[in-house]
Structure 1
Amino acid sequence: MRASIRRKSPLGSRWTPYVFLAPAAVYILLFQGVPLVQQVYLSFTETTLLNPTRSEWVGLANYERIFVDPEFHRTLRTTLVYTVACVVGSVGVGLALALLLNRSFRGRGVARALVTVPWAAPGIAVALIATWMFNAQYGIVNRFLDAIGLGVPGGSILDSQQYALPAILVTTIWQLFPFTSVVLLSALQSVSQDLVEAATMDGAGRWWTFRAVTWQVIKPTVGLLALLMTIWSIRRFELIWLMTKGGPVGTTETIVIDLYSQAFQSQQLGTAAAIGMVGVLISLAVIGASTAVARVAERRLS
């Protein structure tokens, strides 16, 4: 009797997981899958923004055009530098701050709350504030650098080919590190204090205790954060566009900025779609490499 009741229960059906996953699957299919298919098709055509309904099939011509373009090679290098610096900076600063906030001190709760302020601020607001701070005439950054004898010639940091990208990197890391610090702080809470005390009693210093105990626990979280930061950095647009628009002379132009310029300034939708597909393939490659590394690590542990 009980068995028959369980079979009739909708929560006991084998289709129950699929029912709960169906809304998310339909959403992804409609709002991400269909546009992705359209983008793939568009990348093989010559289509202009002024007349998007008329397109001419050109095959791989758009991909050939961008890959022989030296400017696109520079865009790829800039994207790589920007992504690596953002990942290393945000995760590194976040880890250091999480280790600090994990200690017991007066005002720790207030400090933990204040850390989240940059992450809570909208990206547009962060970009506008940073632009004001780097302003050549009244920016506080230029005044501070002039006061210590490290002023930028001309005072315009965001117009400098040498300093524009570092300025954007500092701003991006400042906005991202609160998220990594909060996530890593949560991971640090799961570290067994008994193991830490045992390592300390055995004579291990702070570094060896961190390496042998703490790092082994938080390493999967660090890997996940690195993957998220990589994807977010590749697709970051509003901060770079509002601060430099990819300039000066393309020194801060990433794939997303180049895509926007091709689509809405040069009005070449086909070329922009091809650039977008290159970004998608790079993201998929990063995800695949991360998954492979995680599987190898699991096999070694097992």
Structure 2
Amino acid sequence: MTVLERQQITGPRSGARRRGSPLGSRWTPYFFLAPAALFILVFQVVPLAQEVFLSFTRTSLLNPTRSTWVGLDNFTRIFGDADFRRTLLITLVYVVVCVVVAVGTGLAVALLLNKGFRGRGLARALVTIPWAAPGIAVALIAIWMLNPDYGIVNRFLDAVGLGVPGGAILDSPRYALPAVLATTIWQLFPFTSVVLLSALQSVPPHLTEAATMDGAGRWWTFRAVTWQAIKPTVGLLALLMTIWSLRRFELIWLMTKGGPVGATRTLVIDLYSQAFDSKQLGSAAAIGMVGVVISLIVIAGSRFVARAAEREAR
């Protein structure tokens, strides 16, 4: 019997060591996660820690290297300011209206696009245009449409007898916020439409057919079958819309800069104003921390609701 045949029968010698594959090491998962973890550490954790520190100091933009520790004075001052409390209220209104109307409009459009009709592919493509356009372009288009002299919106409102005096919609404390909201929703609803359309197409057809055969109408079929299938997607969209609305800056700033007289002043606009107009980085960081806390509360609330729904489903 040759040596090769003996090794095939008895296996490798006991003294021989098998080389371990680098991909089979227990450190391999950490190796692949390291770039993402480093990115989050450098661009998320470190700036957040700096913001937390700044929120407890009095720091000027003109001399950011010199800081004076003031504790909770920044938070006490901003919450004692009636204008900041009004800013919180405007932010709440802006977020709630954006989320409810954008998701609701997106669902209605998705239901329409889910039906079979001629030109459906073209309609689906056209719906995505507002979302694909940059925020700056959307803001400039809205400003042009709302122009008091030649804007199409003012001409339409004048034609139906609902014209704004002087046509200065963006300069009116009463109409500026609705105009900004309408523009924001116009940009947001295509994204919700596309996501919800994908969710609708994943609903098993045999379930809706079974409900129809059992005599259920369209509303009850939607409520008992379709809504139950797309409800997790709607919850995720509501969370994303809430966070994006809290962070919305460029569109509001370009359209109104938070005016007139603070009618469209949200948290991010107030933060920018404190940092670059008033040159107070400490107060701006405190306002930013308020936004972070609100976002964390929203995320925690959404997780609680999702877990409660899972328990009910079981």
TM-score normalised by the shorter chain: which range applies?
Answer: over 0.9
| Rounded Cα–Cα distance in structure 2 between residues aligned with 1:9 and 1:103 | 53
From 116, 133, 141, the counterpart of 2:128 = 116
Query: What is the Cα deviation at residue 16 of structure 1?
Result: 3.1
| Rounded Cα–Cα distance in structure 2 between residues aligned with 1:217 and 1:15 | 39
1:138 aligns with 2:169: no
CA 1:7/1:98 → structure 2, altered by over 3 Å: closer, same or farther? farther
- Residue 252 of structure 2 aligns to which amino acid in structure 1? I
Query: What is the Cα deviation at residue 6 of structure 1?
Result: 11
1:42 aligns with 2:54: yes
Unaligned runs of 5+ in 1: none
Query: Helix, strand or coil for the counterpart of 1:46?
Result: strand
Query: Helix, strand or coil for the counterpart of 1:56?
Result: strand
Query: Helix, strand or coil for the counterpart of 1:210?
Result: helix
Counterpart of 1:301 in structure 2 is 313
| Rounded Cα–Cα distance in structure 2 between residues aligned with 1:247 and 1:119 | 25
Query: What is the Cα deviation at residue 189 of structure 1?
Result: 0.9
From 213, 217, 229, the counterpart of 1:217 = 229
CA 1:156/1:24 → structure 2, altered by over 3 Å: closer, same or farther? same
Counterpart of 1:162 in structure 2 is 174
User: Is the 1:44–1:57 Cα contact (8 Å) retained in structure 2?
Assistant: yes
- Residue 175 of structure 1 aligns to which amino acid in structure 2? Q
1:28-67 aligned within 5 A: 28-67=40-79
Counterpart of 2:279 in structure 1 is 267
1:233 aligns with 2:225: no
User: Is the 1:42–1:273 Cα contact (8 Å) retained in structure 2?
Assistant: yes
| Rounded Cα–Cα distance in structure 1 between residues aligned with 2:22 and 2:97 | 50
Query: What is the Cα deviation at residue 9 of structure 1?
Result: 3.7
The structure with the larger Rg is 2
| Rounded Cα–Cα distance in structure 1 between residues aligned with 2:83 and 2:284 | 14
Counterpart of 1:125 in structure 2 is 137
Counterpart of 2:8 in structure 1 is none
Query: What is the Cα deviation at residue 13 of structure 1?
Result: 3.9
- Residue 179 of structure 1 aligns to which amino acid in structure 2? F
CA 1:198/1:7 → structure 2, altered by over 3 Å: closer, same or farther? farther
TM-score calculated relative to the size of structure 2: 0.93
Counterpart of 1:179 in structure 2 is 191
> What count of residue pairs does the alignment treat as equivalent?
301
Unaligned runs of 5+ in 2: 1-10, 12-16
CA 1:184/1:255 → structure 2, altered by over 3 Å: closer, same or farther? same
Counterpart of 1:197 in structure 2 is 209
Query: What is the Cα deviation at residue 154 of structure 1?
Result: 1.8
Counterpart of 1:248 in structure 2 is 260
